[in-house]
Chains A and B, each alone.
Chain A
């Protein structure tokens, strides 16, 4: 693969070239443990070596049952599997976040989700393995680092036999994976059975999950659970955005198998319905990482809306903290609501009316009424002034003093309004809205992608005997200059202050996160190219001209490189690592025997 220039180089970073033909000689840490292959005969070799509960851990941290005790209040009744670890602080968070905050009368079954900070830094023995499976996932679907998601199925029904008069219980899945739709579907199967049949049901479910293939992007996964087979495909970062590769065939029986067209996408149209006229402004607020709070009547509505907000800038990853459902008991409550500092860059979803007062000083507040009357069309609403936000029962709407940078796109509003009049199905409305956001985000991000790709050094500047060249620095002025000719006007009809939007964005956590990720990918690409160049050299000839000390030095350096390549899964051409190993071996062989012995010893970790 010859490199012609920086343009191509930038694109190569995107290519899934090393996806399928993984270097046969590269050993992932999981492979070093030699164990008899497990029951799954048709698995990938690396999967056959997983230990009991490893597969389960690849999907879930644990399953909790949260109930209500008259004396203690909410309490975690069961943690499954029993060996899973949760700190007391984490348990407290899970307790409060698994129940509706205020007496919002969630009678019947409710599903919602929350997100909380991981208490202690626990390292999974599977860490490296999971990183590999995560590598191909799109940025917004990667495993969480410092947070857990809690996916809740809450049941509240009258039960006269109980002292409290009500049966109240939540089944909660704790995971680092942001597959909202998938986990909600899973709970829909698991929870009703659990509430009826108790512990054996959890045991059976966990046993099923522990036989699942690991969540590998790009493959169609068949996931049997409690008598039903769920089929899903986790998207990859190479997919064409906005396409779904799995379609439900008409004849399938939901008691036999279920095909999920998406694992993570929420219904944007339904979620944004109450604030329909402001979707474009909301997109800007999320893009810029502004402090936002959603005040909703129930945890289901608050979490859906927060997730819709976070996902409206896909394929960009929302990099600040967000809490689909946040309560006054949260360990970050003080940190996030303090008035001594400017509101942090976070999105909170709340239901407790108390927050209307606590977060009065927040710059942007979305108030959502009951979403059940979604059939009705939202009336044209003006953005409301913050001072009009009364503490308790204010009207639904967006309360902010923010002036959007871009002009309002009347077309999308008209298109969706027409859809409502024609009774277009919600799924179709959702698809239109999702496409709109996707095109808007892409128009915005393409100029940045193009500029950042141009920061890649030229191929000819890579010399095997010098350290790899550095990426050039991101210079805001230079980037702004590129906008004149190759700005978003090429792909978007929207007018407005794009320059101002970029300027603001470059200061935001979302830019920081995006750029860090790009820089890491490009640096790794440079390392990989450097390694490939090194492997093409005639090392034998070179060491003949050098002293023993220099040869030893070379061996150590090459070993370092090899380790790095394996650890970081550098995107090298297949065969490169085998070649490098052979080089190292050859150089060692040319040294005196006593040195050979020392150099052959495995490096101490």
Chain B
């Protein structure tokens, strides 16, 4: 089986749980007292997908504003971007929309975008309705999933969905209808954004 290296970046507001999702995915571990990421941290995990092995080179970026300008280094060349928000913080969903916009304008053209609403174990203090987030994701043809890094809910599934949307090498030319295309022209679906 061929190993394919796939660069993946995680974007999103500070404190939404980007590092926790990666930590759950790679090490199946959750730490309550995780310190803010500096720049970005890097982890890898290899998963089988069809006839290939996908080696995810995961760049888990810092959510803090002062590192915002570094983001292009991490989404440049990425096969996929996971944009994370916190379902209990409406602000973090607004930040997510900004990230979608930035990716559309400056990101790689054929990047697979996944939207992850994290902390779904805290449903009783939810601020972002699932329906709204889901519709937004559909409007930009992005993967949508709610996750809980703490309870290990949907984290594996998130990356499986990404894997499935990565076109296999042999027929790289074949366009999957589901795959999200970012183009420099404003797509009609963006009217919902911001």
Could you say which of A200, A204, A253 contacts B77, with CB atoms under 8 Å apart? A253
Could you say which of A193, A200, A257 contacts B67, with CB atoms under 8 Å apart? A200
Query: Do A193 and B73 form a contact, CB below 8 Å, given A252-B5, A256-B7, A256-B57?
Result: yes
Give the contact stretch, choosing among A224-232, A275-283, A555-563. Answer: A224-232
Docked-complex contact B76 and A200, CB < 8 angstroms: no
- Distance, CA A257 to CA B38, complexed state (A): 21
B40 at the interface (CB under 8 A from A): yes
Could you say which of B42, B70, B73 contacts A211, with CB atoms under 8 Å apart? B42
Docked-complex contact A255 and B76, CB < 8 angstroms: yes
B99 at the interface (CB under 8 A from A): no
- Interface residues of chain B: helix, strand, loop or mixed (majority): mixed
Q: How far is the CB of B103 from chain A (nearest CB, A)?
A: 14
Docked-complex contact A257 and B39, CB < 8 angstroms: no
Contact with B along A245-256 (1 / 0, CB 8 A): 000000011111
Q: How far is the CB of B106 from chain A (nearest CB, A)?
A: 13
B46 at the interface (CB under 8 A from A): no
Could you say which of A193, A197, A200, A257 contacts B5, with CB atoms under 8 Å apart? A257
B160 at the interface (CB under 8 A from A): no
- Distance, CA A193 to CA B59, complexed state (A): 17
Contact with A along B21-64 (1 / 0, CB 8 A): 00000010000000000111110100000000000010100100
How many residue pairs, one in A and one in B, have C-beta atoms under 8 Å apart? 62
Could you say which of B27, B57, B62 contacts A257, with CB atoms under 8 Å apart? B57
Docked-complex contact B77 and A256, CB < 8 angstroms: yes
A207 at the interface (CB under 8 A from B): yes
Could you say which of B9, B42, B62, B76 contacts A224, with CB atoms under 8 Å apart? B42
Could you say which of B27, B66, B74 contacts A227, with CB atoms under 8 Å apart? B74
Contact with A along B78-97 (1 / 0, CB 8 A): 00000000000000000000
Docked-complex contact B69 and A227, CB < 8 angstroms: no
A521 at the interface (CB under 8 A from B): no
Docked-complex contact A203 and B57, CB < 8 angstroms: no
Please give, as numbers and ranges, the residues of chain B lying within 8 Å of A200 by CB-CB distance: 39, 66-67, 69-70
Query: Do A205 and B5 form a contact, CB below 8 Å, given A197-B69, A200-B67, A227-B77?
Result: no
| Interface size band for B | 20 to 34
Closest to A207 in B: B38
Closest to B2 in A: A251
Please give, as numbers and ranges, the residues of chain B lying within 8 Å of A255 by CB-CB distance: 7, 76-77
Please give, as numbers and ranges, the residues of chain A lying within 8 Å of B70 by CB-CB distance: 193, 197, 200-201, 204, 226
Please give, as numbers and ranges, the residues of chain B lying within 8 Å of A253 by CB-CB distance: 7, 77
- Distance, CA A204 to CA B74, complexed state (A): 12
Docked-complex contact A204 and B67, CB < 8 angstroms: yes
- Distance, CA A255 to CA B57, complexed state (A): 12
Closest to A227 in B: B73
Please give, as numbers and ranges, the residues of chain A lying within 8 Å of B9 by CB-CB distance: 227
Please give, as numbers and ranges, the residues of chain B lying within 8 Å of A254 by CB-CB distance: 77
Could you say which of B38, B42, B77 contacts A203, with CB atoms under 8 Å apart? B38
Please give, as numbers and ranges, the residues of chain B lying within 8 Å of A196 by CB-CB distance: 69
Docked-complex contact A207 and B42, CB < 8 angstroms: no
- Distance, CA A252 to CA B70, complexed state (A): 23
Docked-complex contact B7 and A226, CB < 8 angstroms: no
Query: Do A229 and B27 form a contact, CB below 8 Å, given A204-B39, A205-B39, A208-B42?
Result: no
Q: How far is the CB of A39 from chain B (nearest CB, A)?
A: 8
- Distance, CA A591 to CA B152, complexed state (A): 60
A165 at the interface (CB under 8 A from B): no
A41 at the interface (CB under 8 A from B): yes
Please give, as numbers and ranges, the residues of chain B lying within 8 Å of A227 by CB-CB distance: 7, 9, 40, 59, 73-74, 76-77
Which residues in chain A, 186-243, are within 8 Å of chain B measured between CB atoms?
Answer: 193, 196-197, 200-201, 203-205, 207-208, 211, 222, 224, 226-229
Closest to B77 in A: A255
Docked-complex contact B38 and A41, CB < 8 angstroms: no
Please give, as numbers and ranges, the residues of chain A lying within 8 Å of B27 by CB-CB distance: 41
Q: How far is the CB of B22 from chain A (nearest CB, A)?
A: 12
- Distance, CA A41 to CA B44, complexed state (A): 12
Please give, as numbers and ranges, the residues of chain A lying within 8 Å of B66 by CB-CB distance: 200
Closest to B37 in A: A207
Q: How far is the CB of A69 from chain B (nearest CB, A)?
A: 25
Please give, as numbers and ranges, the residues of chain B lying within 8 Å of A224 by CB-CB distance: 42, 57, 59
Docked-complex contact B57 and A229, CB < 8 angstroms: yes
Q: Which of B7, B41, B70: most chain A CB closer than 10 A?
A: B70
Closest to A196 in B: B69
Docked-complex contact A207 and B39, CB < 8 angstroms: yes
- Distance, CA A228 to CA B39, complexed state (A): 13
Please give, as numbers and ranges, the residues of chain A lying within 8 Å of B42 by CB-CB distance: 208, 211, 224, 229
- Distance, CA A200 to CA B67, complexed state (A): 6
- A204-B38, A224-B42, A255-B77 known; 17 new pairs, CB 8 Å cut-off, are A193-B70, A197-B70, A200-B66, A203-B38, A204-B40, A204-B70, A207-B39, A208-B42, A224-B57, A224-B59, A227-B9, A227-B40, A227-B74, A228-B73, A255-B76, A256-B57, A256-B77
Point out residues on B near A: beta carbons under 8 Å: 5, 7, 9, 27, 38-42, 44, 57, 59, 62, 66-67, 69-70, 73-74, 76-77
Selected A-B contacts with CB under 8 Å, 10 pairs: A197-B70, A203-B38, A208-B39, A224-B42, A224-B59, A227-B73, A227-B74, A227-B76, A253-B7, A255-B76
Give the top 6 A-B pairs by smallest Cβ distance, nearest first.
A204-B39, A255-B77, A227-B73, A224-B42, A207-B38, A256-B7
